[in-house]
Amino acid sequence: MEIVRYVEQGGTQPRVGVRREGKIAPVRYGSVAELLQESQDALRAGLEPTGPEVDAATVTYLPPVDGRTEVWASGVTYERSRAGRVEESVQASVYELVYDAPRPELFLKSVAWRVVTDGEPVAVRADSEVDVPEPELAVVTNSAGEIVGYTVCNDVSSRSIEGENPLYIPQAKIFSGCCALATGIRPAWEVDTADLAITMKVVRDGATAFEGETSTARLHRTLEELVEVLYAPTDFPDGAILSTGTGIVPELSFSLAEGDVVEIDIAEVGTLTNPVVRGREPLAWLVDACERPAARRKGQQ
């Protein structure tokens, strides 16, 4: 089962439902933000269908995040990520230190309305030279900080901007098209995250330009630890989504290019596929989609 947010064919109003075996049925929640105000026990009971099913192939999918829910991300949580950051940075020691430090690296990745989903484009900055996708398991947490679900995140990043100076991390990490989430949220009680295979492939002109794999078993920190640090100083009344870092980092000779397609798969959680564009202009429809969710169809073409 997956929790999804969608617009029915010919409709304009976003709905929240559960997807099973190619069908979607609505549930009683009006938004994912409302859903994330529930305790895990209440949520399990609240995912019962409240209306007729529709064919899952006929809807327009929306990112599974809305309202005041924020997407945050973790850095340097895999050994490969530490090695990659050390390789790219002129201030390598900061990444070596944070890997084993008591306090993890956490940063705001996106507000809800800027998130894209499966089939929609991710972007690289027009002023960046080396850009990479970062496939990550994302935990979905409710307002009380309980882990209630999991989804797939692509934490697109500029390696050249971050490598120039770690103080540029917000510019390297936060821009239009930098954050993609899969269409579905798998409930936490249905997934064992101890050893989930994570794979990524970048397709360029019909051929594989890069591919890699890792496992959540290689995470240096626990999911609970990351969530605890995120919630310690901050309230999240509509919950939060926390991407937990990447263990797949290409060599510095690789960079995303316009026209590439990024394919990510996390076992038991989901898949995420996004074409790559360059600059902010191809993501301008996100502003229209704030008020008109059907405008997302332009991004999914």
Classify the C-alpha dihedral 243-268-131-94 as positive or negative.
positive
- Least reliable range by pLDDT among 71-85, 148-162, 221-235: 71-85
pLDDT in tens, 71-125: 999 998 887 555 555 565 545 567 777 888 889 999 999 999 999 999 999 999 9
Q: What pLDDT score was predicted for residue 223?
A: 98
Contact 117, 181 (CB under 8 A): yes
Give the percent of the chain with pLDDT over 70. Answer: 94
| Residue written as token pair 């409930």 | 187
Could you please state the CATH topology (level 3) that the domain comprising 63-285 is classified under.
Answer: Fumarylacetoacetate hydrolase; domain 2 (3.90.850)
| DSSP letters for 144-166 | TS-EEEEEEEEE-EEHHHHHH-G
**Closest residue by Cα to residue 120 from 65, 27, 191, 182:** 182
Q: What is the DSSP letter of 21?
A: T
Contact 229, 106 (CB under 8 A): yes
pTM value? 0.94
Give bridge partners of residue 214 from the DSSP assignment. Answer: 198
- Give domain limits for the chain: 63-285
- The answer on pLDDT for 64 being more than 90 is yes
Q: How many whole angstroms separate alpha carbon 88 and alpha carbon 165? A: 10
Q: What pLDDT score was predicted for residue 296?
A: 80
Q: What pLDDT score was predicted for residue 193?
A: 98
pLDDT in tens, 22-40: 999 999 999 999 999 999 9
- Is 120 strand, coil or helix? coil
Q: How many whole angstroms separate alpha carbon 212 and alpha carbon 239? A: 31
Q: What pLDDT score was predicted for residue 178?
A: 98
Q: What pLDDT score was predicted for residue 84?
A: 58
- Least reliable range by pLDDT among 53-67, 79-93, 176-190, 194-208: 79-93
Q: What pLDDT score was predicted for residue 301?
A: 54
63 alpha carbon, distance to own chain's centre: 9
Q: How many whole angstroms separate alpha carbon 129 and alpha carbon 151? A: 29
